[in-house]
A and B are shown apart, each in its own frame.
Chain A
Amino acid sequence: MIPQEIIWEVVRLTLYVVGLIAFAAFNAAYLSLAERKVPALFQLRYGPKEVGPYGLLQPVADGLKLMSKQLLVQDGTDVFLFKLAPVMVIVPAVMCLAVIPFSETVSARNISLGLLAVFSFSSVHVLGTMLGGWASYNKYASIAAARVVAQNIAYEIPLLLVVVALVMATHTCNLHEIVDQQAGAFWHWNVFRFQVSPLMPVSFLLFFICMLAEANRAPFDMYEAESELVAGAFTEYSGMGFGLFFIAEYANIVVGCSMATVLFLGGWHCPFGLLPGLHWFLIKLYVLCFCVIWVRWSFPRTQFYTLLNLSWKLLIPLAFINLVLTAVMLKIFG
């Protein structure tokens, strides 16, 4: 006989996972609308406005179009890997969402190594993208597969160095505890913890840049690079095969922005110490998402060498300086 608590826990987790997948899909839909409306603001035009009031039903139309399309598999494709790749890209993103604490009470699973879990799952989507590109039997997709690996190796290092410095300061990998340490007004947030390291705002910036590169967002979207590589790793995908990649791309942005919120911006805490809760988390999350879109539509795509130079010559040394400085400061003042 299975104990009652275990059954309830399984039911709770199932509901959470369904909810998180819905959250990811909803974000993909409406962030893609934002991705068309926000640049329209920048470029003095209107963006989509015909489908529904203010174009609000545009994602529904796009989704229906994607779902009604046939999944084509061309000759020479490694069919198993080709069909596995979109799943391998979307699953880790949802797994990451399961660990992230959205508020004091809203979180699917509060595990003591949450930070580690997020960063280990979030590097799996690289593998999925690479396999998809490689299995497609297409030269553009193969180039994209090579690029995505080189880029993600280069940017994982500064990302993790920044996080290591943060873990040294917070003494925990539990995301709930990291957020609780930042309770109160905004000067308690990790971005402004100057007593730990005077470079904290810089390390937040490093984290944000690396997050953009990890989520393969412009100006670091080397693996999609539509003007060079057709659609990169997705070239041969049609219908919902492409749709899953698309949802995963936005889910990765949401995961990245959520992690930035949790690690640096005080999670669900209010900047003025009033009424903490889910709404503050979502506000911070979507402000960061706006910044991601803002960056994308402000800058042209970098060259590949510039991209790697930026990581190896600037971000990694800076992250190391931050790490050493944090260690020294903790030794002296901690």
Chain B
Amino acid sequence: MWNYLKEIWLGTYSLMVGMWITLRLTFHRPVTVQYPYQTLKLPARFRGHVQLPLDANGKPKCVACMACARACPSNCITMEGHKPEGATRRELSKYTLDFTTCSLCGLCVESCNFDALEFSKDYNLASLDKGDYVMDLLKPAGKEQPK
């Protein structure tokens, strides 16, 4: 008999606790982000595909040392460099990233001694065409760059 009453009391109490929780949360602001209209700020260490940051003159800092291409375990970086007449360092003439094989391991960024490679914040990468993922990183800010 005592257990029966105790069970009724505990049951009623737990039901009231449940209803109190839902009622309290009614007056809470929604926490969802309405994605296509609103976006969250990406975390500082977000890893998108790599990109070439520009120096003060608006040129890539890269000296075409090929360290990144050698460090890449999946060989997705293809690059060429040349040395213009009278220049003190080599310049990039071609830098292609095959994003279909890239695993975003970041070894290329780590291997770069000139801070010439960084992760981009671009995540809207869906496409119907496989060719879109072979990216020419030397192209001026276009489709691949975050908006």
Interface residues of A (CB under 8 A from B): 40-46, 294-295, 297-299, 313-314
Which A-chain residue is minimally distant from B12 (CB atoms)? Answer: A205
CA distance A314 to B28 in the complex (A): 36
- Whether A46 contacts B32 in the complex (CB less than 8 A), given A299-B15, A314-B8, comes out as yes
- Whether A294 contacts B32 in the complex (CB less than 8 A), given A299-B15, A299-B18, A314-B8, comes out as no
Q: How far is the CB of A309 from chain B (nearest CB, A)?
A: 10
Query: Which of B23, B25, B30: most chain A Cβ within 10 A?
Result: B30
**B28 pairs with A44, CB closer than 8 A:** yes
Which B-chain residue is minimally distant from A42 (CB atoms)? Answer: B22
Contact flags (1/0) for B1-45 with A, using CB distance below 8 Å? 000100010000001001101110110111110100000000000
Which B-chain residue is minimally distant from A39 (CB atoms)? Answer: B22
Please indicate the chain B residues that have their CB under 8 angstroms from the CB of A40 in the complex: 30
Please indicate the chain A residues that have their CB under 8 angstroms from the CB of B30 in the complex: 40, 44-46
Given A44-B25, A44-B30, A44-B32, output 16 extra A-B contacts at Cβ < 8 Å.
A40-B30, A41-B25, A41-B26, A42-B22, A43-B25, A45-B32, A46-B32, A46-B34, A294-B23, A295-B19, A297-B22, A298-B19, A298-B22, A299-B15, A299-B18, A314-B8
Q: Pick the contact of A44 from B23, B31, B34 — CB < 8 Å?
A: B31
Interface residues of B (CB under 8 A from A): 4, 8, 15, 18-19, 21-23, 25-26, 28-32, 34
- Whether A294 contacts B22 in the complex (CB less than 8 A), given A299-B15, A314-B8, comes out as yes
Please indicate the chain A residues that have their CB under 8 angstroms from the CB of B23 in the complex: 294
Which A-chain residue is minimally distant from B4 (CB atoms)? Answer: A313
CA distance A314 to B4 in the complex (A): 9
The 3 closest A-B pairs by CB, nearest first: A45-B32, A42-B22, A298-B22
Please indicate the chain A residues that have their CB under 8 angstroms from the CB of B19 in the complex: 294-295, 298
Query: Which of B8, B22, B26, B34: most chain A Cβ within 10 A?
Result: B22
Please indicate the chain B residues that have their CB under 8 angstroms from the CB of A42 in the complex: 22, 25-26
Please indicate the chain B residues that have their CB under 8 angstroms from the CB of A313 in the complex: 4
**A298 pairs with B8, CB closer than 8 A:** no
Q: How far is the CB of A101 from chain B (nearest CB, A)?
A: 30
Q: How far is the CB of B28 from chain A (nearest CB, A)?
A: 6
CA distance A295 to B8 in the complex (A): 18
CA distance A313 to B31 in the complex (A): 42
Q: How far is the CB of B102 from chain A (nearest CB, A)?
A: 35
Please indicate the chain A residues that have their CB under 8 angstroms from the CB of B34 in the complex: 46
- Interchain Cβ contacts under 8 Å between A and B, 9 examples: A42-B22, A44-B25, A45-B30, A46-B34, A294-B19, A294-B23, A295-B19, A298-B18, A314-B8
CA distance A298 to B30 in the complex (A): 17
Which A-chain residue is minimally distant from B27 (CB atoms)? Answer: A41
Please indicate the chain B residues that have their CB under 8 angstroms from the CB of A45 in the complex: 30-32
Please indicate the chain A residues that have their CB under 8 angstroms from the CB of B31 in the complex: 44-45
